[in-house]
Chains A and B, each alone.
Chain A
């Protein structure tokens, strides 16, 4: 009796589960078609590829710690794809984006990259934010000879044939900002950063640069990622710089909020202790609070306040699609231009599938980006203008300094002894990713 009941129960639950999953699947299918309307980028479009679409991959963290930053980059990439599709697509075909979630987890990034390439057969991938995620997917892209467009400023010291870097190299953000500080704000620097690869490499570069140019580092400290107790650092800053001086900030994430709030509480204001940040853009200003940031500085290639027709169009389109309270920032813009540069390269090559042709076609391409005219160099980085902005009342940046023209990228740093005199040129197979300059 009990056994029979057990079997009946099993059948009952089994059919219930089956029914549920079938129904849920039905729901699931409706969501994918709504993905663009409902503004939920997590949904993955997986309908069978047909002859009139080109599949590209988008690989960012939609969950986990990095989702905070990467979600808006996805928004920018999808905006660019939508614009291109509305204007007729690429080579007469519509672009179809396959969105994957790297979940702020580096092995997941590599796995999803492999999945996008092997299973979805995308022709290129736009993605990654942290250097850790880029380093994790790099072997996948080199192994499969595939193509990644990486949109974030980074620490340099890398030049892969399979990655196009549309963010700044250190000589397009960090070095000019240090020069500007030396000229305008003082020669004594205190370095504050998060405890991982980007801040430590950036600070190595800054220290070498200051040594070459006559500045001094009076102290440095690193916070573990996510740490919000900065009292000891503030004490150190006050002891090392009793009469004020420059603070160079490479903190990432939540620590920034705590840092600026507590700096103000301790009475270290921008008049005597100006802070130059390289990871704080318009979105972060909103999150930290203008009251705490006003008068401090940031170095980027793009600010929402850049005065170009292309930027007006970009900002308007972005706000129309995602809401008027949203802001645009440098990595979003770099991701946006990555999509357009890829489109140009494909059109110039006449094919999207032959990656070698697309890659060669990309060199020398120019595009009127929101930040101004950018050019793709044979070292896979783009020439771009460098700007210094000061936070103003409305949370946007007043651009107080910008380079005369676009600065050419140098992936290998010329201040650090290990990489001094090295360059990268992928248009010539004999030179490749790292070769010694003769001069």
Chain B
């Protein structure tokens, strides 16, 4: 009995982490068909935001410190959503309908983001700001000229080089002048620590084992996110527009739905959810440049198994994978099948974390042979669009 309850609870808690990581991806991948390999890095941005907010509250101190996590959640949502918006406007909108190109482009973005958090310092930020001001300012000034389109390419080439040179020189000079104050990285290549507020540490004891508060918090948070997304997509006018664009883009455009705005909004929403996920996982695991990499494969696994474009599929898949992972990895299955010796041997063989992962992947491959489109496949005329 205790084994069962423990199995169910731990399965759900692993599943909740998978689900919250996959939720934003399910929206972006499911509704827009964009394979966003930078999803993990958006999670990482959320985790770093949590770290920054935590340190801000530490400076203030006092009883407010215990509540930092709520502010961090909100901040993480908006930071990641903003980053997602920039990503969509800057890169992805040029690549709609070309999944392989988006895959490569977002992978590049993910590498850039990883290196960015490693090396970001005041010097770098100042250099970037000066470059942007010079480059875009000058471009804007030139765009007033009547022959702009003739000299555009020339202008961009020259401005880019000049702007880079000037901003580099200024940043380097500032770096020499002020030394470590400017050149010291904000975060560095090392991981940084996020500490859960004291009321989230420890756990409630139940029948001989302890449920960590952090896990309960994440389960609750995941639940709120799922319900929120469900209501947003199902009940709000923008949700209706998103669903319409998903089903038939050109028809929606004909009917006056601003499809570009809908795309941007959907992507920002998915990114914001990644930010929340990042905040949640920072309580459980690490916050570092590689944080996102640890979750991206699992997130895609959940979305694909669930059936692309179906929230309920994502939910079921996350819980199922979480539970199987736990039952196999912890050796519970081996324990349950005690009377039948071959089964015991079989499950004992897989009862390490590494081997459990192997088994889960094998099961997924087998499952996708039977149902290639996932647990709840998308139905309708536009399925393959």
**Which residues of A approach B to under 8 Å, CB–CB?**
12-13, 16-17, 19-20, 23-24, 26-27, 30-31, 34, 37-39, 63, 65, 67-68, 71-72, 195, 221-224, 226-233, 235-236, 238-239, 253-254, 256-258, 261-262, 264-267, 283-284, 286-292, 322-323
Contact = CB atoms under 8 A, between A and B. Distances in A.
Interface stretch (B154-162, B238-246, B269-277): B154-162
A261 B190 contact: no
Interface of B: 6, 10, 13-14, 17, 115, 118, 123, 153-154, 157-158, 160-161, 164-165, 168-169, 172, 175-176, 179-180, 183-184, 188-196, 201-203, 205, 209-210, 212-215, 281, 283-291, 293-295, 325-326, 329-332, 352-354, 356-357
Given A68-B290, A233-B330, A257-B285, 18 more contacts: A12-B153, A24-B164, A37-B176, A38-B172, A71-B189, A221-B353, A227-B294, A229-B353, A230-B353, A236-B331, A254-B291, A261-B214, A262-B284, A265-B212, A265-B213, A288-B286, A290-B193, A323-B184
A257 B176 contact: no
B161 A235 contact: no
A322 to B, nearest CB: 8
B291 A283 contact: no
Given A16-B157, A226-B293, A254 B203 contact: no
A254 B47 CA distance: 14
Contacts of A231: 10, 13-14, 326, 330
Closest 10 CB pairs of A and B: A265-B212, A232-B329, A289-B193, A257-B286, A287-B191, A228-B285, A232-B330, A267-B210, A258-B285, A16-B157
Contact of B212 (A19, A27, A67, A266): A266
Contact of A254 (B160, B183, B285, B326): B285
Contact of A232 (B123, B175, B325): B325
A265 B214 contact: yes
Contact of A258 (B161, B205, B284): B284
Contact of B191 (A17, A239, A254, A323): A254
Given A223-B353, A229-B17, A283-B190, A262 B212 contact: yes
B157 A20 contact: yes
Contacts of B168: 27
A72 B190 CA distance: 9
A291 B195 CA distance: 7
B203 A222 contact: no
A226 B286 CA distance: 10
A238 B188 CA distance: 36
Contact of A68 (B14, B288, B356): B288
A264 B201 contact: yes
B57 to A, nearest CB: 15
23 contacts: A12-B154, A19-B157, A19-B158, A20-B160, A20-B161, A23-B161, A24-B161, A27-B165, A38-B172, A67-B118, A221-B352, A222-B353, A223-B354, A227-B353, A228-B294, A232-B325, A232-B356, A235-B331, A258-B286, A261-B284, A265-B203, A287-B288, A323-B184
Contacts of A286: 190, 192-193
A265 B190 contact: no
Nearest to A224: B354
Contacts of B202: 264-265, 267
A226 B214 CA distance: 20
A261 B352 contact: no
B357 A224 contact: yes
Given A67-B118, A258-B286, A323-B184, A229 B191 contact: no
Nearest to B10: A231
Given A67-B118, A235-B332, A254 B192 contact: no
Contacts of A264: 201-202
A51 to B, nearest CB: 29
B330 A236 contact: yes
B209 A228 contact: no
B348 to A, nearest CB: 12
Given A231-B330, A235-B330, A65 B172 contact: no
Contacts of A34: 172, 175-176
A415 B168 CA distance: 57
B319 to A, nearest CB: 14
A261 B283 contact: yes
Contact of B203 (A67, A261, A266): A266
B20 to A, nearest CB: 13
A38 B168 CA distance: 12
Contacts of A253: 290
Nearest to B205: A267
- Interface hub of B160, B180, B184, B285 (most chain A Cβ within 10 A): B285
A195 B123 CA distance: 39
A64 to B, nearest CB: 9
Contact of B284 (A71, A228, A236, A323): A228
B290 A254 contact: yes
A37 B180 CA distance: 9
Nearest to B192: A287
